[in-house]
């Protein structure tokens, strides 16, 4: 099966020559990183904040490091597109992290088993993203008018993200149990780290498997936004998949680092919504006019920086107000 590639629209996007062995090397690298991650987390234990911070830094270093592989192989244009796609995907994935926290809370999943659920959730997410990217690239290659359609969908999604509710993902508990119940009996109690247990000659699903189902479903929902968003800055499936893959690989560590910090980053949801609106508008006009990749990357970084800074100011004001109230 040939992988669809794009000719640059008005010379805007790079068109690189990707051989089959480039794909093989990328997939082997991703598989190797997954294997190392699984090896490092063989036991069921709750990751410490320090370990999560170290692992997050290592994953980010891997993602940024691959950008220089792209630079050496295909030049600065491909480098800029990969880096922009990586930053977009990493940014949008933060909201996914907060939804995971709600999911695990609704299923009362112990922290020591959450990494196991997320590992297989990420594994499934990589496969789904590959299908989405190749399919989306092929559609845009054949029907250019889908660009403004996808762009408008991103704008609408961005506005919804700004208004998202704190209990987002909570409703997935009952739906997952009902869905699994159509195929397998579902137990209410955990059976250690097992997704399935055998009882009286039949397989029975555990709440851990139900949590995995909800994690996979939410990733499909997020992929509907994130994949077109990255396609707004690059039309090369190799670059889009690589940026998605390296951003997703570090999500487990990011979850254990930020899962309980939603209140600290109060304006982050607004920033993610603004990013979706920005790349959506960029996608709408991309067939006729292209915004330079470095400018797009700068706008995204500026939005994130402003959101983090505003959130920190808000947190400090709230802390000072609480301290003043106690002092009175």
At 110, list the tokens: 């112990």
pTM here is 0.77
Helix intervals (H) in 201-292:
207-231, 237-249, 251-258, 268-285
Highest mean pLDDT range out of 98-107, 154-163, 249-258? Answer: 249-258
Segment 290-308 shows an average pLDDT of: 81
Report the percent of the chain where pLDDT is more than 90: 15
Segment 241-260 shows an average pLDDT of: 84
Average predicted confidence (pLDDT) for the chain: 79
Among 59, 19, 11, 45, smallest CA distance to 238 is for 19
At 327, list the tokens: 């002092």
> What pLDDT, on the 0 to 100 scale, is given for residue 6?
39
> What pLDDT, on the 0 to 100 scale, is given for residue 260?
58
- pLDDT interval class at 16 (50, 70, 90): confident
At 198, list the tokens: 């055998």
- pLDDT interval class at 173 (50, 70, 90): low
273 or 260: which leads in pLDDT:
273
> What pLDDT, on the 0 to 100 scale, is given for residue 47?
73
pLDDT tens digits for range 111-132 = 888 888 888 888 888 888 888 8
DSSP state for residue 191 in the 8-state scheme: -
Range with the poorest average pLDDT among 19-23, 51-55, 285-289:
285-289
> What pLDDT, on the 0 to 100 scale, is given for residue 230?
82
In sequence order, which residues have a C-beta less than 8 Å from that of residue 83 and are 6 or more positions away? 64, 67, 243, 297
Q: What angle, rounded to 10 degrees, do the helices at 237-249 and 76-106 form?
A: 40
At 129, list the tokens: 């993203």
């Amino acid at each position: 099966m040939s992988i669809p590639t794009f000719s640059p629209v008005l010379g805007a996007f790079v068109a690189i020559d990707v051989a089959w062995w480039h794909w093989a090397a990328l997939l082997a690298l991703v598989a190797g990183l997954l294997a190392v991650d699984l090896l490092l987390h063989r036991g069921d234990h709750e990751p410490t904040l320090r370990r999560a911070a170290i692992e997050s830094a290592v994953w980010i270093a891997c993602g940024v490091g691959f950008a220089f592989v792209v630079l050496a192989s295909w030049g600065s244009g491909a480098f800029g597109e990969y880096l922009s796609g990586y930053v977009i995907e990493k940014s949008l994935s933060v909201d996914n992290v907060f939804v995971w926290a709600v999911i695990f809370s609704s299923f009362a999943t112990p922290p020591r088993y959450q990494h196991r659920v997320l590992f297989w959730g990420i594994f499934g997410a990589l496969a789904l993203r590959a299908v989405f990217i190749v399919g989306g690239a092929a559609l845009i290659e054949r029907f250019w008018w889908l660009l403004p359609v996808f762009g408008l969908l991103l704008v609408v999604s961005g506005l919804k993200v700004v208004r998202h509710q704190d209990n987002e993902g909570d409703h997935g508990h009952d739906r997952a149990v009902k869905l699994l119940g159509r195929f397998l009996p579902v137990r209410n109690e955990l059976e250690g780290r097992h997704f399935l247990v055998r009882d009286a000659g039949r397989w029975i699903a555990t709440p851990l498997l139900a949590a995995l189902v909800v994690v996979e479903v939410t990733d499909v929902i997020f992929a509907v936004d994130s994949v077109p968003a990255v396609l707004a800055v690059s039309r090369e499936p190799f670059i889009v998949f690589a940026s998605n893959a390296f951003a997703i690989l570090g999500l487990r560590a990011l979850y254990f680092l930020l899962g309980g910090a939603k209140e600290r980053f109060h304006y982050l949801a607004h920033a993610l919504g603004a990013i979706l609106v920005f790349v959506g508008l960029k996608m709408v006009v991309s067939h006729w006019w292209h915004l330079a990749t470095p400018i797009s990357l700068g706008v995204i970084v500026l939005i994130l920086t402003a959101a983090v800074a505003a959130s920190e100011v808000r947190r400090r004001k709230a802390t000072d107000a609480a301290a003043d109230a106690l002092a009175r």
